[in-house]
Amino acid sequence: MKVNSLQYQHTHYAALGSPWSAKADRIQSATGILLGCFLLAHLHFESSILFGKETFYQVVQFLEGGMFSSDGHGMPIVTKVFSIFIMVVVMLHAAVALRRFPAQLGQWRALRNHMQGIKHKDSHAWFWQLVTGFILFFLAPVHIFTMITNPEIGPHLSAERVYHANAWLLYALLLPAVVVHAMIGLYRVAVKWGLIRHRKGLRKAIKVLIIYLMTLGILSLISYIMIGRSLVLPITPFVP
């Protein structure tokens, strides 16, 4: 008699693996890649202020769909809609990434003991991703909500927000958190799915990117503060 042991095992296993485990993992990586790439673009667009007010103005008009409007001016509604989309992606990413958070004190203790006892750089990198991820729970929505409620962007409008509405404090905290989180995240997603075989080069590239993006972000933040200081309230939007 043929013993159909496999069928038995299949029913035994059935309770353990849920299709949602795979889905959650795919969603986390996909939303992570999307947000990481968006951050790379975002920081470059906003730092175009370093090339002068006019360059930044043109970049904004272009991104707000200026070529589709009759007067060539961009429409802030584009920013509003895109911000809502990013908010949804962030929420989705946060929801599935929560699976990774140590939820119990015992887990934090185990993590601390591990970090103290075992020397391992990638584990430490993950710890910083965890910390910055936690910070982003509070900082990222504040920034995105502002862009949903007040989507007006421009050399003077943004500078007013940064300097006169004190958004510089938010950005100064948000910048390091988001850059570190996103870059380590992109590195992890590449090794997680086996997109690369050797980590050494990628690790170096990520370090360089973190320094580069931080410099870019800090310089443009200073630039907005300088412009903000020179503005008289109530401000008039910049027109070239």
Partner 1 sequence: MSQGRTLTFNIFRYDPQVPDDKPKMVKYQLEEAPGMTVFIALNMLREQQDPSLQFDFVCRAGICGSCAMVINGYPTLACRTLTSKYPKGEITLMPLPGFELIGDLSVNTGKFMRELAERLKLWLHPRNDEVDIHRIEAPMDPEEAAKLYELERCVECGVCVSACATKQMRDTFVGAVGMMKIARFELDSRDARSVEDFYHVIGNQDGVFGCMTLLGCQDNCPKDLPHMQQIAYLRRKMATALV
Q: Which residues would be at the binding site for partner 1 (CB under 8 A)?
A: 2-6, 9-10, 13-14, 16-19, 21-22, 24-26, 99-100, 102, 107, 110-111, 113-115, 117-120, 122-123, 126, 188, 191-194, 197, 199
Classify residue 94 as exposed, middle or buried by CB count within 10 Å of its CB (0-12, 13-18, 19+).
middle
Q: Which is nearer to partner 1, 156 or 181 (CB)?
A: 181
- Backbone torsion region of residue 81, taken as left when φ is above 0, otherwise alpha when ψ lies between -120 and 50, otherwise beta: alpha
In the complex, what is the shortest distance from the CB of residue 209 to partner 1, in angstroms, rounded to a whole number?
19
Q: Which is nearer to partner 1, 187 or 224 (CB)?
A: 187
**Residues composing the chain:** 240
CA-closest candidate to residue 92, choices 157, 189, 152, 23: 23
Structure tokens at 44: 């470059």
Structure tokens at 234: 């109530």
Is it true that the peptide bond before 234 is cis, omega within 30 degrees of 0?
A: yes
Alpha-carbon span 82 to 70, nearest angstrom: 21
Q: Which is nearer to partner 1, 30 or 148 (CB)?
A: 30
Q: Which is nearer to partner 1, 79 or 129 (CB)?
A: 129
In the complex, what is the shortest distance from the CB of residue 197 to partner 1, in angstroms, rounded to a whole number?
7
In the complex, what is the shortest distance from the CB of residue 177 to partner 1, in angstroms, rounded to a whole number?
19
In the complex, what is the shortest distance from the CB of residue 3 to partner 1, in angstroms, rounded to a whole number?
5
Which position has the token pair 């986390």?
A: 28
In the complex, what is the shortest distance from the CB of residue 214 to partner 1, in angstroms, rounded to a whole number?
24
CA 94 to chain centre: 11
Q: Which is nearer to partner 1, 171 or 187 (CB)?
A: 187
